[in-house]
Amino acid sequence: MIESLQRFIFKIYTEKYFPLFIAMTFAIVSLLTITALVREEVYTIENQTITLRVGAATNSSAITTLNKGDRVEILSERNGWYNVVVNGQQNGYVPSWLLNKDQPIDDTELAVHIEKTTPLYQSAHTDSTIIHQIPADEYLKVNFENNGWLQINYKNDQGYIKTSEVTLISQNDIPDKSHESITSNNDLLAGLTPEEASKIIYMRQNNQALYEYPDGLSPVIYHPTYNQRFEYLSTNQDTTGHDYYFVRDDEGTEGYLNSSHVAFASDYIGHETPERPASISEAVIHVDAGHGGMDPGTSSLDGTLHEKDYTLPTALYLKEALEKMGARVIMSREEDIMIGLEEIAQMSNDNQVDAFVSIHFDALDDPTWGGTATYYFHENDYELAETINERLKTIELENNGIVFGNFQVLRDNHRPCLLLELGYMTHEADLSYFTKEENQRKLAQAIAEGLQDYFK
């Protein structure tokens, strides 16, 4: 056998056979290369923008953004990530689990829906310790995805679940289960004395964080559940002067909560739910035009337009619409003056109003974010928020739903009360809409009809 092999190799290297051997070798290599090229898949980005990253992880550095219509060559696939070449030049990684999504999802704002009991591992491999079994129908934020594993926080622990075991969604699509168990302020005050209530803080928004430091950019310890209870320890401020509360949870974990997302239990003492008038013609409505005078409120991106100049006319149109329905209307202001927040809330309390509505227009650094939102503070006022928000959905602006808002005019108000953000000063389409008189009247009419629905 060995002698035969030696004779074969000797023949290859003879003058007669060596050129043929070289030619055959080149042909085989060329065929393999052509086969590999043919097998490369060319994919066109169809549904959303996707970030091309240096490595196969959502916390890997971004190279560029791929937009709808861009074409990429897929070289290989591993653990849910494609290694691709863009325009024949840039090599990087994109998540295969985003390419087929119908709706855009930012890979840095992922969440998961747990559809069956799923193990949470201490490390990103199945041989590691299982630290929790996460029950079905949980929704959790994702810290990052790396090679087929998702890092998440669950019950004060950080761990990993397999990407293939869960359904990936956007954090914006986490359902609001806020009102499944809490239906009134009394539920938040149950068993607490006034002194105890002053030392208890509730998390009043979904998808927020307990931070290591008093800063929204600080590392996250974990994401508290809605209405999770904390012991208040002290107040601290970030570099902008915004308040963060230093707190301790029931298991002894300490950290910082953004004051905008929480409430003291004591804030719910004294809030009233009066007997509702049978119709709006019997109701007393307090309409508040946000800001005014020396307080301009938010501004347009170029700084030339100010919130106070649009809250007042919209509030006056609301007054007009309500009075046509027979309601008695109290105004915080009817001219360009500034009224203190404490004074506004006290005006509602002193007049024993049946509903308070504060008119505002929002702003963000992100000019793509727009739409209306209905803010409430007191759990008793959620039905009022639902009723008015249903009417706001009929307006030609995006509707961002019902949101807890820790605003003084709501917090200190003992009567049914809401704050309405009716668009964004920093969103081009919103600004173009609500600066027109006819649309201010439309907004006012929608709110008036929502109040009319409430008093039926």
Give percent of the chain above pLDDT 70: 88
Right CATH for 110-173 from 3.40.50.720, 2.30.30.40, 2.60.120.10, 2.60.40.1260: 2.30.30.40
The domain covering 41-99 belongs, at the CATH homologous superfamily level, to SH3 Domains (2.30.30.40)
> Among 408, 309, 315, which Cα is nearest to 359's?
315
Indicate if the pLDDT at residue 244 is higher than 80.
yes
pLDDT at 18: 53
The DSSP element (H or E) to which 351 belongs, if any, is: helix 341-351
Q: With respect to CATH, is domain 185-268 assigned 2.60.120.1270?
A: no
CATH class given for the domain over 280-454: alpha beta
For the cut 90, the answer to whether the pLDDT of residue 356 exceeds it is yes
Q: Would you place residue 323 in the very low, low, confident or very high pLDDT band (cuts 50, 70, 90)?
A: very high
Model pLDDT, residue 184:
75
Please give the Cα distance from 313 to 309 (Å, whole number): 7
Q: Is the pLDDT of residue 30 over 70?
A: no
Instruction: At 200, list the tokens.
Output: 């208890």
Reported as a pLDDT band with limits 50, 70 and 90, residue 90 is: confident
Q: Each residue of 258-290: b (16+ CB within 10 Å) or e?
A: bbbbbbbbbbbeebebeebbeebeebbbbbbbb
Long-range contact pairs involving 269-277 (C-beta distance under 8 Å, separation at least 24): 269/189, 269/194, 269/197, 270/414, 271/185, 271/378, 271/380, 271/413, 271/414, 272/414, 272/415, 273/184, 273/380, 273/416, 274/352, 274/354, 274/415, 274/416, 276/354, 276/454, 276/455, 277/354, 277/455
Tokens of 243: 């308040």
The residues spanned by each domain of the chain are 2-39, 41-99, 110-173, 185-268, 280-454
Angle at alpha carbon of residue 128, lines to 126 and 134, rounded to 5°: 75
Q: Do domains 110-173 and 185-268 have the same CATH topology?
A: yes
Residues contacting residue 352 through CB under 8 Å, at least 6 positions apart:
274, 284, 415
Predicted confidence (pLDDT) per residue in 148-186, tens digit: 999 998 876 889 999 888 888 888 777 765 555 555 788
Report percent pLDDT > 90 for the chain.
Answer: 60
Q: pLDDT band at residue 70, thresholds of 50, 70 and 90?
A: confident
Average pLDDT of the residues in 289-295: 98
The enclosing H or E element of 157 equals strand 157-162
Q: How confident is the model at residue 72 (pLDDT cuts 50, 70, 90)?
A: confident
Q: Which of 303, 254, 297, 278 is nearest to 423 (CA)?
A: 297
- pLDDT bin (cut points 50, 70, 90) of residue 32 is very low
Phi/psi for 157 (5° steps) reads: -115, 150
Pair of tokens at residue 454: 């409430």
* Tokens encoding 456: 């039926």
Condensed to tens digits (0 to 9), the pLDDT of residues 195-213 reads 999 999 999 998 899 999 9
